[in-house]
Structures are given as C-alpha cells and as structure tokens.
Structure 1
Amino acid sequence: MAGPDSTSESLDPEQIERMVDDALGAIAAAADSAQLKAVRQTHAADRSPLALANHSIGSMPKERRKDAGRLIGRARGRVNEALAARAAELEAAELAARLEAERVDVTLPVVEHPVGAEHPLTALINRMCDVFVAMGWEVVEGPELEAEWLNFDALNFTPDHPARFMSDTLFVDPPSGHTIMRTQTSPVQVRTLLDRALPVYVVSPGKVFRADEYDATHLPVFHQLEGLAVDRGITMGDLKGTLDHLAKAMFGDIRTRLRPHYFPFTEPSAEVDLECFVCHGSSVGDPERPCRACRSEGWIEWGGCGVVNPRVLVAAGIDPNVYSGFAFGMGVDRTVMFRNNAPDLRDFVEGDVRFSRSLVGGAR
C-alpha cells in the first residue's frame, strides 16, 4: 500500500491501522526466516508504507506533527515487536528441525575413521634421545642447509676428500657459494663446540642428505643420530661404555664390538658392530642354520665412532692438551630395520600409515 501524500496536512488513523494490519498479517504468514526477511523489507524498511508515512510528517503544519509522530511511532513499534516475536519463533522451530535432522542414534554400529600413527623413525629418535637425556646429556639440533666449512673443513676433511665431490654431496647453486645439504649431523657438534662452554655432552638427531640412489637399501634423505662428549680425561673406554649402554637400551642384552677404521674427524676410529640379535652368533660356521639378518657372520654393522681428532678440537678453539672427547654416529633408519626386520627402506618414505602402525610398536 502506498504511503500518504507528502502534501497532506494530517495522517488518517484508519489508513495507518490498515498498514499495521497488512504488516501483522504478512508477519504471521511468514513460514521461515527467509520469508520473514522479505516481509521485513516490505513493511519495516526505509521504503515501507509506514516509513514513507513517517517521512511525510515533515510536510505537515508544525502543530500537527506531534500527534502524527506519536501515531506513526506506535504503529511502527507494533510492527517491530511482531517481527521480533515471529523471528524468535521461527529460529526456535528451525533449530529444532535442524537438531532432529542431525540427530545421531548412538546405539547403531558405526565405521570408525582411521587415525594416524607416529612414524617409526620419529618414535625411535625420541627413544634414543631419552636414553641420553637420562644420562644427563642434551639434545641439540642445527640447520639442514649447511656451510661447507662446518660440514667438512672443521671436521678435518681434506679439500680432495671423495666425500666432497658432487657425486656424493648435494651442493646448492652456485657451488662457489660453498653451501650444501648437510651429509651428516656432525656440523651440529662443531656448532656446539664453537658456541658453548666445556664440558659438552650432546646428541644431535636429524635428516642428512647424500647423492644416493633411491632403492631398497639407499635413500637420498635419511636420518642419523650422532653423539659428542668433550671433557677432561675422556678415553676410548668411555666411548665403549656409552655405546654398550645404548645398544642394551635399544636391543636388550646384546654385545658390541669395535673394529679399527678411519674417519677424518676421529683418531683412533672404529666401526661399531652389534651382535646379531637373531642368531647371537650361533649361525657362524653352521650351513644348516643360516641367518639372514647377519648373513651368518654373527655381527651387524651399526655405525662409526672414535676419539675426537685433536685437529677438530683446534678448529673449534679448544686446547687438545687439556680436553679430549669421543664421537659416534649411526643411521636411525637402519636401526629401525634392525629392530623390526623391515626389508625395504623405501617403505619409510612412502607415507603409508599401515607401515607406521606395523612398526611403531616395536620402535617404542
């Protein structure tokens, strides 16, 4: 219904009442919130009949404006109250309908959504770190993008050492920038020696990178855990005792042995072997009882170790006549393989949660 003529001198109360009745009827007939919104636009917005009637008050004689304003105000108030009441009714009804539609019968059987699993590498790294934290050591980490000096020079690698060739190390362009993807976590140990006061007892787990093939026994990205102890009076015997303790924590009652080897950053150096945890050496020399785990050799190679080379201490500004230390490192991926008899390293990076579920119990 159109609003009153703006030139009129007064407003017809019957006309205003019809506007209110029209609005109240439309409000009552609104079946949902969308319809009520349309009713609000038609009967209560700025271009509604009552709003236009209110605008016309300005053209009336001054003495009549008060009564006209009171009349329009009461009318608009009735409409707004009706709108608010109907809105509350519709919202309650729609909420009840939605809750009914979404109601779940908890007595019915349901298919559970599968949950994730902690990766066995993460689980084992945490466990290995716990062993050292319990001994009072500290876990330290460092960047995976590393300076060539920290990865090689500070660790006594000569400029022509094969490990520095692009066939083994991943250099970041340009190679003249001497920045690489770290090939070991040993640079973290160098950073620790440069930044901290002695004594130092730290382990450094993390990813390392090599230009290796992607196959069942090699990955271009794998994980290491390395340890470093520098203090007064450190000997090879301290190293052997530490490795024995770690091996027993990881594999139970098992022996270790050290075989002479060479590493640029330790002198003397050794390879660490584990007594075969499958045959415990019983398969050696017995062709009728072969062992696939150790290939009937009785021992499984685990990692490398040695007494810290004095040149490494000097590079870190430490007097080798006062301090000595030992270092060791082993591949976490292969340790998980040893503990769980996992046949293929590629399973570790395929992202299949079934693989993690099958091994994580053994890695804890």
Structure 2
Amino acid sequence: MIDQIKELIAEAEAFKAQTKEEVEAYRIKLLGQKGIVKQYFAEFKNVANDQKKEFGQVINTLKKTAEEKINTLKSELEQKEEVSQSNLDVSRPGEPISLGARHPISIVKNQIIDIFSRIGFNVSEGPEVEDDWHNFTALNLPEYHPARDMQDTFFIQTNPDILLRTHTSSVQVRYMENNKPPIRTISPGRVYRNEAISARSHCFFHQLEGLYIDKDVSFADLKQTLQYFTTELFGKSKIRLRPSYFPFTEPSAEIDVYWGLETETDYKITKGTGWLEIGGCGMVDPNVLKNCGIDAEDYSGFAFGVGIDRIAMLLYQIGDIRLLSENDVRFLEQFKSAL
C-alpha cells in the first residue's frame, strides 16, 4: 500500500492540466470528501504498528504534493485568463514615456542658489502668510509709515495683522531672530502684491534676497558680491549702483547690469541705454539689527534682492510674465533641454 501511495505522489508531481475543470476534477479525486487521501487516512487504523510511521509520512506527503500542484495550476490558468481577457499583445512595443521639464523659475532659482552657495551663503525659508511685525515693523516700517504705501498688500480680512508677505525680507528677520552673527543667507520664495496683472506685472512673483551680517562689513563688500553674482549668472561683469531709497537699508541703491546694445532686443529691454535694472540693495539699517536682537555697534551688514521672474524672462527672452504661471504645456516643453 505504501508503494501505491508513492506512485500517486509521483503522479501528482507530473500532473498537468489545460483547464480549471481538469484541475478541479483532480482535486476532488485526491482531496475530496470521498477522495483517495481520505480513504488512506481511514485505512490508517488497519496498518501494522511497525508501518504506521512510514504510512503516515507518505500520506501527508501525498496530500501536501497534491495541494501545492493544484494551487500552482490554478494560479497559472487564472493568469492566462487575465491576459486573454485584456487582449494584451505582449509583442507590441511599449508607449513612449514623455519626459518632463523643469519650470524656468526653478531653473533660474537653482542657478542663483548654486552661485551664492559657492561663496558661503546658505538657504533660509519662511511662511508665505506672515504677520505685520516680520513683514513691516521689524524692517523699520512702523504703523502709518508712508513707505508702506510702496507695497500694495493683501491683508487677511479676519485679522489685519496677518497678510501675504510682500517680500522675502520677512524671512531674513526670522533668521536674524534665531541665529547669531556671522550670518550669510539667501531667501528665495514667492511674494504677493496687490497689483494689476499684465504682461509685465503679476499679483504674485518670486524674489531672492540675500543678507550678510558680520563685523566690519562695508559697501565695498556688497558691490564685490554683486559683481561676482552678475558675472556668474549673466556673463556680464559691468554693474552700477544708483542711489535709491528702501526703509530697511541705508544707504540704498538700485542694481544695474550693463546688458549691451548688440541686438534689437537689447535696445528694447534696456530702452536704448544698454543698462538693465535687476534689483535693489543697501547696507542694513541699524534699527533693523536692533529689532532683531543684534548689537548694531558691533555688527553691520548688507542686503540685496533680485526678481527671479524678471531674470528668467531676460535669460529666456520671455515676453509675457503670465506665461510663467499659466502651466501651458507648449510653453513648458521648450525648457526640456535647460538645466
């Protein structure tokens, strides 16, 4: 009888089926309520004591082998059915995968971050929904200060002290409050102004502002830093700083880079002067340092800010700022070859 069971084990190992019906018939034959395995288990009591151990082992082996074979065949047949039902032609070539592209704002922002990281500037970030202290008051713009009118602000109606930040200088305030000099950081991010949307302006745009605080920092340090930045980004090393006014820096200046007059486009974007304004800068006002808990007697510093959107428009000759936020795939696909 043991030899018969071993033959059934070999038969189970070699069993093949083309349909689920054949597998089910085989299962009933071996493992059903009246199947062969049940019959052998019933016969166990009549086996001689010296053969019971071997008899029990071969029955269990038969049962296990049959179950594994049946489960394997069921799984294979189900997979074949799924393939046939999906009408999938596995011999067909796959669909091409469309490659994405970085947004021009991201490209330019990463380039600027890389340039300043080479001279020791780290990156700091802060909230876009800001409070009055960090956006205005700490930056030498107390309540009712006329310079607040320079920036049309989106206020949160439920709380007049909460607003959408108008510049990333608010990030610099937070950084100075939580870090001791020397400080060397840049703050890229999106800012908001209540302005009419046109080809040249938008109600939100992107800025990158820099801050350097240490002992004996001078205006010459500021100019040299900007000289390095414009040379690395534009390949143009000639800059000028025009006197200007910003409440949080004194003295203050506008940053111009000499773009040149080689093409008709150069004449257009520089209005025939060859000079192009790219941002503002200045020495940090001592009141700002005091508001942030820094001793203005021991430390000085400079700050600067550039518009990432404007620089992207210059580098890629984009004529309408609205293209940067409309997510037009035809526009974005043009930057697949960019960094």
Query: Which TM-score tier does this pair reach, normalised by the shorter chain?
Result: 0.7 to 0.9
Encode CA deviations 1:175-225: one digit per residue, 9 max, x unaligned.
24x222211111111112111121111111111122233332222221111
- Aligned-residue identity in percent: 34
Q: Which residue of 1 aligns with 2:305?
A: 329
Q: Which residue of 1 aligns with 2:172?
A: 189
Cα distance change of structure 1 residues 196 and 82 upon mapping to structure 2, 3 Å threshold: closer
Q: Which residue of 2 aligns with 1:298?
A: 274
| Match of residue 31, structure 1, among 18, 39, 48 | 18
Q: Are the equivalent residues in 2 in contact too, given 1:30–1:39 (CA < 8 A)?
A: no
Q: CA deviation at 1:291?
A: 1.8
Q: How many Å separate the matches in 1 of 2:266 and 2:204?
A: 32
AA in 2 matched with 1:329: G
- Root mean square deviation, CA, Å: 4.0
Q: CA deviation at 1:135?
A: 0.9
Q: Are the equivalent residues in 2 in contact too, given 1:53–1:72 (CA < 8 A)?
A: no
Q: CA deviation at 1:30?
A: 5.3
Encode CA deviations 1:120-160: one digit per residue, 9 max, x unaligned.
11111111111111112222222222222011110011312
Q: How many Å separate the matches in 2 of 1:303 and 1:194?
A: 25
| Match of residue 46, structure 2, among 45, 67, 72 | 67
Q: How many Å separate the matches in 1 of 2:231 and 2:306?
A: 15
Q: Which residue of 1 aligns with 2:110?
A: 126
Q: Which residue of 2 aligns with 1:349?
A: 325
Encode CA deviations 1:318-349: one digit per residue, 9 max, x unaligned.
22222111110011000011111101111112
What is the TM-score normalised by the length of structure 1? 0.73
Q: How many Å separate the matches in 1 of 2:335 and 2:17?
A: 62
Q: CA deviation at 1:74?
A: 7.7
Q: How many Å separate the matches in 1 of 2:56 and 2:293?
A: 91
Q: Are the equivalent residues in 2 in contact too, given 1:151–1:182 (CA < 8 A)?
A: yes
AA in 1 matched with 2:190: K
Structure whose alpha-carbon radius of gyration is higher: 1
Q: How many residues align?
A: 321
Q: What 5-or-longer segments of structure 2 have no aligned partner?
A: none
Q: Which residue of 1 aligns with 2:220?
A: 237
Q: How many Å separate the matches in 2 of 1:351 and 1:248?
A: 31
AA in 2 matched with 1:211: N
Q: Which residue of 1 aligns with 2:134?
A: 150
Q: Which residue of 1 aligns with 2:256?
A: 273
Encode CA deviations 1:237-282: one digit per residue, 9 max, x unaligned.
21111111111111112422222211110111111122234x16x9
